[in-house]
């Protein structure tokens, strides 16, 4: 036997000292998953439970529990049972909740079936057919042909939900200019709930929802149009306007400047006499003439050649007559 931490002062000493016996029983079951001894607690006068740390992967915070027992008039201790139980810091699954209690409003999807619970207090038996065709036909026309109808509890439950979401105490209703009771889009319900509830038919409001007659919104049918013609109070400022600056007059160029001489030489024809045919014209030495463009030079040469051809055609022939006179 070894010293142990006794968590319950009512544990008999013979049971509290059975630590090695409890550990050996666990080692036979799980040789590598038993940790340090945690404590012992009394189950009754003849039994106690020893707890050990569980070192199994994935069982952090769990404890091994071994129940040992001994008769009041004996000094022999035996092992009754062992189990792996969650400790105070163990990670465990949440408490199980039956499926019918887990379903919440909005969980129903297309194709799902959800039957009402048995003896649903929200429903009561409806009209029972009498067998008389005339009476039963009238009963169906006035809405008495259903097997079950809403009970008083069911109507109160529904009215409470509608009142909390679309009632006069909502933020929307407090800021509304008027209530649904005077709105043209308000469609009162039938039956007992007609006195306080209806359906909103305004697509811009609580369309399709059951609302209390004290509810309201800004889309009330009697909401007036904003006052004024809508024109701005101040003159509009156009930040994209073009700013116009006065253009400065260009300074006249001097007559003898080089750019003017070059431009004049490019447009004026060459009036110098043409050279004899077969000789290239002499290149002028003036530096200003060398700046004439290639296009201007070609035009002047073509004009000189045409003038020379015309002059040669008008002059008489100077070829001497070789015939002798008789």
pLDDT digits (tens, 9 = 90+) for 159-209: 999 999 999 999 999 999 999 999 999 999 988 899 999 999 999 999 999
Q: Where are the domains of the chain?
A: 13-86, 118-149, 152-212
- Angstrom distance (rounded) from CA 66 to CA 19: 9
- In the predicted model, residues of the chain with pLDDT beneath 70 are 1-9, 127-130, 142-143, 145, 228-233, 250-326
Model pLDDT, residue 150:
83
State the CB neighbour count (10 A cutoff) for residue 290.
11
Model pLDDT, residue 289:
46
Domain 13-86 = CATH 3.40.50: no
The SS3 of residue 181 is helix
Model pLDDT, residue 161:
94
Exposed (0-12), middle (13-18) or buried (19+): which is 249, by Cβ within 10 Å?
exposed
Model pLDDT, residue 136:
73
- Angstrom distance (rounded) from CA 172 to CA 205: 10
Model pLDDT, residue 317:
47
- Angstrom distance (rounded) from CA 156 to CA 109: 26
Question: Which pair of tokens denotes residue 198?
Answer: 């209806």
Angle (nearest 5°) at CA 284 between 280 and 290: 105
């Amino acid at each position: 036997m070894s010293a142990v931490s006794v968590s319950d002062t009512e544990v008999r000493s013979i049971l509290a000292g059975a630590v090695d016996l409890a550990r050996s029983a666990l080692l036979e079951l799980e040789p590598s998953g038993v940790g340090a001894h945690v404590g012992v607690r009394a189950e009754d006068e003849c039994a106690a439970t020893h707890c050990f740390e569980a070192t199994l992967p994935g069982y952090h915070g769990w404890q091994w529990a071994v129940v040992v027992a001994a008769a009041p008039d004996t000094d022999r201790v035996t092992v009754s049972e062992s189990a792996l139980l969650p400790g105070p810091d163990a990670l465990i699954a949440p408490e199980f909740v039956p499926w019918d209690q887990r379903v919440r409003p909005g969980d129903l999807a297309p194709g799902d079936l959800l039957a009402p619970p048995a003896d649903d207090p929200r429903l009561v038996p409806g009209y029972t057919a009498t067998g008389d065709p005339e009476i039963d036909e009238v009963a169906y026309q006035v809405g008495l042909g259903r097997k079950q109808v809403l009970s008083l509890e069911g109507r109160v439950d529904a009215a409470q939900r509608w009142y909390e979401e679309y009632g006069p105490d909502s933020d929307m209703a407090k800021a509304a200019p008027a209530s649904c009771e005077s709105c043209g889009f308000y469609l009162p319900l039938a039956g007992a709930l007609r006195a306080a509830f209806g359906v909103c038919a305004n697509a811009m409001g609580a369309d399709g929802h059951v609302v209390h007659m004290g509810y309201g919104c800004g889309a009330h049918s009697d909401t007036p149009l904003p006052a004024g013609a809508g024109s701005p109070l101040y003159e509009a400022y156009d930040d994209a306007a073009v700013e116009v600056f006065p253009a400065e007059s260009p300074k006249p160029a001097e007559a003898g400047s080089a750019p003017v001489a070059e431009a004049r030489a490019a447009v004026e024809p060459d009036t110098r006499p043409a050279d004899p045919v077969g000789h290239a014209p002499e290149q002028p030495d003036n530096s200003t003439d060398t700046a004439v463009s290639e296009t201007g030079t070609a035009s002047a040469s073509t004009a000189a050649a045409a003038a020379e051809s015309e002059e040669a055609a008008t002059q008489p022939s100077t070829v001497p007559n070789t015939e002798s006179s008789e």
